[in-house]
Amino acid sequence: MIFREFGDKALPTIILLHGGGLSWWAFTDIIPLLKEKYHVVTPIIDGHGDDGKTTFISIEESAQKLLQYIDTNINGNVHALCGLSLGGQIIIAVLSRRMDIAKYAVIESAMVIPPGSLTRLLAKSSGMFYGLIRYKWFAKLQAKALYINKNLFNQYFNDSKNMSKESLVNISISNVGYKVPVGLKYSKAKVMIIIGGKEMRIMDKSARKLISILPHARLCKYPGMKHGELSLARSKEYIALINRLIE
């Protein structure tokens, strides 16, 4: 896991963790809006982007690497943890391991209820479709679904081609098989759970399960929005939500 940092390290730290198939650059519109008030850290999850040569193993291993970074570089706790999809699942794993790791957390579009058997089968078979990521036409379809700006497409395409088949399969299986860790109910963080109104029904169920478990959580549902749309395409609204949670 590679860590990029922005802003003054003396300021409170906010960690932004990207979703599957993305990288730190997914937050290029958000970082400038935060770094004047916060020390912003954007980890690159194993198997992604500049860390494409490191095989992604599991959500739990990624959570452990993030905890090690926080312990080594930020005195064992941060102001806020924010994660999208796979990144949100990693944040959940971190919160469940240490109750006082963060004062605040924003979890966007994180699935914690395993989907139907067909979806799980497709995840296990994801290696069969690995070759598609090397075609630009397929990458453009994916980029559109992920709200990636046109000026970031080449970066996304190159990063996609660098992901190994093993990482792709492990990410897919980890994502659809993730369940809420037992320790999450002890978290002291004030948490905002975000979902879009146009996401799969299981996302709504996942969000409500998290709300029922986390003692200091609120649900924010955006009608008309799709998976990850808030942080990926509406940066100012996303920042406003963070500020509302913290202030």
Mean pLDDT value of segment 208-222: 92
Spatial distance between the Cα atoms of 109 and 117, rounded to a whole number of angstroms: 20
Higher pLDDT: 114 or 67? It is: 67
pLDDT band at 139 (very low <50, low <70, confident <90, very high): confident
Give the pLDDT confidence score for residue 193 in this predicted structure: 96
Least confident range of 11-25, 136-150, 184-198, 208-222: 136-150
On the question of pLDDT at 84 being above 70, the answer is yes
On the question of pLDDT at 120 being above 70, the answer is no
What digits encode the pLDDT tens for the residues 32-55? 999 999 999 999 999 998 998 999
Mean pLDDT value of segment 136-157: 81
Spatial distance between the Cα atoms of 131 and 149, rounded to a whole number of angstroms: 23
- The domain limits of the chain are 2-246
Domain at 2-246: CATH architecture = 3-Layer(aba) Sandwich (3.40)
In DSSP terms, 220 is beta-bridged to 194
Spatial distance between the Cα atoms of 200 and 198, rounded to a whole number of angstroms: 7
Residue among 41, 23, 24, 25 nearest 80 (CA): 41
Q: In the predicted model, what is the mean pLDDT of the chain?
A: 89
On the question of pLDDT at 128 being above 60, the answer is no
Q: How many residues does the chain have?
A: 247
What digits encode the pLDDT tens for the residues 153-173? 888 888 888 888 889 889 988
On the question of pLDDT at 92 being above 50, the answer is yes
Element (H, E) at 20: none
- Report whether 84 contacts 232 (CB < 8 A): yes
Output the pTM of the full model: 0.92
